[in-house]
A and B are shown apart, each in its own frame.
Chain A
Amino acid sequence: EAGVAQSPRYKIIEKRQSVAFWCNPISGHATLYWYQQILGQGPKLLIQFQNNGVVDDSQLPKDRFSAERLKGVDSTLKIQPAKLEDSAVYLCATARQGAYEQYFGPGTRLTVT
């Protein structure tokens, strides 16, 4: 089966600009996660979707980050405006409903200058 797809793979923007990332899950995976991995740290959950509903967004900086999962399939994560500390790898992961194992995409490496 095809894996989790993410785009773009790399993005460089200036601070205060906007950026959006896209994730296409494995077919049939109801649960979708966005993680942020800052250099030297482990991935940290930003938001979890179950189909098109938000399950957990407690760690999402809502003043600048937003995410949506229209029709319970693809998802986009947006940052507006970006700050220097947003430089990180943004990982999308998906899972079957009720399953432990999460499958990750290759991530988007964001550099904010």
Chain B
Amino acid sequence: GAVVSQHPSRVICKSGTSVKIECRSLDFQATTMFWYRQFPKQSLMLMATSNEGSKATYEQGVEKDKFLINHASLTLSTLTVTSAHPEDSSFYICSASNRDYQPQHFGDGTRLSIL
């Protein structure tokens, strides 16, 4: 079945560091990928929709200058958390779908801890 790979799985870094997270669709082309954030014991919240070859669409309340998204190819989207602070510590997870209206397949997520 469709597989989505996310890297790294865990990041621990100092406040002020920028962190890049990669999301790859391994066996299908994804014109659209999605980035979610999940705080402990909470649900997943959609942050942004990553569109290949165009600007990402951000959900209300998500700072686009803080969370930079690049979708340069049909198999790769990256999320960069710029100048991360402790409040950015969370579980970030991406998803992709190989066709419209089909179930989204998720990466394994990235646990980001900012000290």
Are A and B part of the same complex? no
